[in-house]
Amino acid sequence: MSNTNLTIKDYFSERLKLILSGHDITREEARQCLIYLLDHRLGMANDVCFGALFAALQAKGPTIQEVAGLMDAVISYDRIPVEIDRRFSTPLCGIIGSGKDDLQTFNVSSISAVIAAAAGVRVLKNGSRAEASIAGTTDVFEALGVNVLRRDRELLEYTINNLNLGFCDAAPTSRKW
């Protein structure tokens, strides 16, 4: 059966079965599977499929091509066109973490972003609201006085270039950067 005749759920299911049986998938197949997940194209099973894909890859042992395909998806999916001031020698560092664990820990990634920015590292922090933990990144930054609802490129550029810290909420939004 050709890929053009498969539904999204069938496509994902076939790739998952391959991985579970110990076979590798291509870079493009890994990229496409993650895009389907990031776009929530698998309906109510999306979260379960997300966990299943990564557990299956971990159990099999991911190939370089599979990891590269996943990274291709992340890179193409999560681009925000900001102009970084090149006068500074400090590179931009991305810190990602949501605070979504169910271990009731404090939000390590958010605190790391604040400390790194205070130390002079330019940081772009990505996160979301808590689901099972005490506080997600969005909750932490909101408590610190950040207007987490304002999503515009100019503010993000300003905060990265002048405060060393920019924040992007990972919640789906219809607003385009």
6-64 pLDDT, tens digit per residue, is 799 999 999 999 999 999 999 999 999 999 998 888 988 888 999 999 999 999 999 99
pLDDT at position 125, please?
87
CB-CB contact of 89 with 119 (8 Å)? no
Say if residue 95 is exposed, middle or buried (CB neighbours under 10 Å; 0-12, 13-18, 19+): buried
Q: Would you list the domain boundaries of the chain?
A: 3-77, 92-169
Say how many residues make up the chain. Answer: 177
Please state, in angstroms and rounded to a whole number, the distance separating the CA atoms of residues 151 and 82: 12
> What pTM did the predictor assign?
0.54
**Quick one: pLDDT band at residue 67, thresholds 50, 70, 90?**
very high
Q: Which residue has tokens 């503010």? A: 155
What is the tens place of the pLDDT at every residue in 87-113?
666 677 888 775 566 666 667 888 898
Q: Is pLDDT at 80 greater than 80 in this prediction? A: no
User: What spatial distance separates the first Cα and last Cα of the chain, rounded to whole Å?
Assistant: 38
Q: Compute the distance between CA of residue 93 and CA of residue 124 in angstroms, rounded to an integer.
A: 6
CATH fold, domain 3-77, is 1.20.970
pLDDT at 177: 45
pLDDT tens by residue, 111-140: 898 999 999 888 888 888 877 667 788 888
